[in-house]
Structure 1
Amino acid sequence: MKNKNLFDSFNNAIKGIIYAIKSERNMKIHVAVSILVLFMSLFLDLTKLEFIVICFSIGMVVTAEIFNTAIEEIVDLITTGYHPKIRIIKDVAAGGVLVASFISLIIGYFIFFDRVSTGLETGVERIRQYPMHIAIIASVITIIMVLVIKSFSPKYTPLKGGMPSGHAAIASSITTAIALWSSNINLTILCLILLFLVIQSRIEAKIHNFIEVFVGTIIGFIVTLFLFSIFYKP
């Protein structure tokens, strides 16, 4: 079915990614490893080029696994019995994922090997010096948690409605980060007003109920507070 607008395109694309994660064990592994690698890379003082290469490698593996899942779904749709050609198609698709994973493993080895033992302490100090990094990490983790929780709902849409409210979660995360970073009561109050307006607009538009925005707000607050309490040293 054709998407009505750009919003629906993004929404359905995210639903496709979540379906692949929920239905494929290997996809769960790839995503878990990808999150771990991205988290580690923030501690290891990588250059911009190295970080871009890491992101490209992760994207390559995840994309290959998504295409592999799509091919398997198509094959299962058009046939119900066993056929040698079907087995070959699935094996070739899986082989593409294996090649992408192997290349990414080599790239990761050369980038991370010399830094794991020597760069960890330097990386932690860099993060402490740049609170913006902590705020970005907190926002990303908050988004991931919201999408994961939403994926368990039988009638979910990643970008609209459902438990919990993603808008409230992100707004809460940003508000908490600014409050902890700035230690400025006036700025914090302004951010709280904006957070309240976000929550009020989601409820008034009947996109979320109070419980959904409340849970989203708590998620954003706890994730951000936890990361700042560990890494931020004013």
Structure 2
Amino acid sequence: MKSKNFVESLNASVEGFIYALKTQRNMRIHFLLGVLVLVAGIYFNLNKTDLLFLFTAICIVIILEMINTSIELTVDLIKDVFHPLARVIKDISAGAVFIAALNALVIGYVVFSRGAAFKIEDLVHQIKQSSWHITFIAFILVLFLVVIGKVFSKKGTPFRGGMPSGHAAFAFSMWTAITFLTEQGIISVLVFIMAVLIARHRVIAKIHNAWEVIVGAVLGTLTTAVVFQILR
């Protein structure tokens, strides 16, 4: 095989990136979110160190997404018949992307939310005074409890099916948060109706049974209510 010169290698690299961007939905999502986050960082006049942290975190996610795509294509290429280990290999590479995305989420949250002092007392006070911080904490806690519940129930996947219903949990978590934050009852009622419709659709689509949806709704409601009661 003829060795490539620098320009040919650069072209191949760009073509590989473009191919992943064109064919992989998650790649497009991560790239778009990364661009929006960097634009937001520049708009809010973040310092160079914070922008560097954001850029590095975004690059790690995109790089691992491309590696994950390469691994999936390689496994599909060399395996003519289904093998359980092929699925495990793909899941592990996808898990690496998931961890990188969580890391980017945490870095983004810290960079965009940090204010003046970093004393723990000031941080707690700032969180209590910010409904946005409280809502974010509630949603993250609901996500954690839903995933843990599905892991222990050994049914469905972390983000589809199983006990409890994640969609119902988040829908009712949103309703609870809005109920705490708004003084207009009509808004709370409308969001509640929306949450019920989302939960109902999960049952109609046979993704969850009624019990899984009810448990998810209760989990989202109680978790969010407890967070607001403690931090407000």
TM-score (norm 1): 0.51
**In structure 1, what is the equivalent of residue 181 of structure 2?**
181
The share of aligned pairs that are identical, in percent, is 35
SS class of match (1:203): helix
List aligned pairs for 1:54-203, cutoff 5 A: 119-203=119-203
**In structure 2, what is the equivalent of residue 214 of structure 1?**
214
CA distance in 1, matches of 2:52, 2:173: 26
Residue type of the alignment partner of 1:126: Q
CA distance in 1, matches of 2:192, 2:127: 25
Q: How far has the Cα of 1:191 moved from its partner?
A: 0.6
Q: Deviations over 1:93-140 (max 9, x none)?
A: xxxxxxxxxxxxxxxxxxxxxxxx971221122112210111111101
Unaligned runs of 5+ in 1: 11-46, 64-116
Residue type of the alignment partner of 1:179: T
SS class of match (1:213): helix
Alpha carbons of structure 1 residues 147 and 118: separation in structure 2 relative to 1, 3 Å: closer
**In structure 2, what is the equivalent of residue 75 of structure 1?**
none
Residue type of the alignment partner of 1:220: G
**RMSD of aligned C-alpha atoms?**
3.9
Alpha carbons of structure 1 residues 127 and 145: separation in structure 2 relative to 1, 3 Å: same
CA distance in 2, matches of 1:158, 1:177: 23
Structure 1 runs (4+) deviating above 6 angstroms are none
- Corresponding residue pairs, total: 144
List aligned pairs for 1:219-230, cutoff 5 A: 219-230=219-230
List aligned pairs for 1:10-49, cutoff 5 A: none
**In structure 2, what is the equivalent of residue 99 of structure 1?**
none
Alpha carbons of structure 1 residues 230 and 53: separation in structure 2 relative to 1, 3 Å: farther
**In structure 2, what is the equivalent of residue 19 of structure 1?**
none
Residue type of the alignment partner of 1:209: N
**Contact between 2:155 and 2:163, CA under 8 Å: does it hold in 1?**
no
CA distance in 2, matches of 1:120, 1:183: 31
Residue type of the alignment partner of 2:190: L
Alpha carbons of structure 1 residues 134 and 154: separation in structure 2 relative to 1, 3 Å: same
Q: Which moved more, 1:126-135 or 1:188-197?
A: 126-135
Alpha carbons of structure 1 residues 135 and 147: separation in structure 2 relative to 1, 3 Å: same
Residue type of the alignment partner of 2:215: V
**In structure 1, what is the equivalent of residue 92 of structure 2?**
none
Residue type of the alignment partner of 2:187: L
CA distance in 1, matches of 2:215, 2:148: 14
CA distance in 2, matches of 1:217, 1:52: 40
Q: How far has the Cα of 1:6 moved from its partner?
A: 6.5
Residue type of the alignment partner of 1:147: V
Alpha carbons of structure 1 residues 53 and 230: separation in structure 2 relative to 1, 3 Å: farther
Unaligned runs of 5+ in 2: 1-22, 28-45, 65-116
SS class of match (1:156): coil
Residue type of the alignment partner of 1:185: G
Alpha carbons of structure 1 residues 231 and 50: separation in structure 2 relative to 1, 3 Å: farther
**Contact between 2:172 and 2:221, CA under 8 Å: does it hold in 1?**
yes
CA distance in 2, matches of 1:191, 1:184: 11
**Contact between 2:155 and 2:161, CA under 8 Å: does it hold in 1?**
no
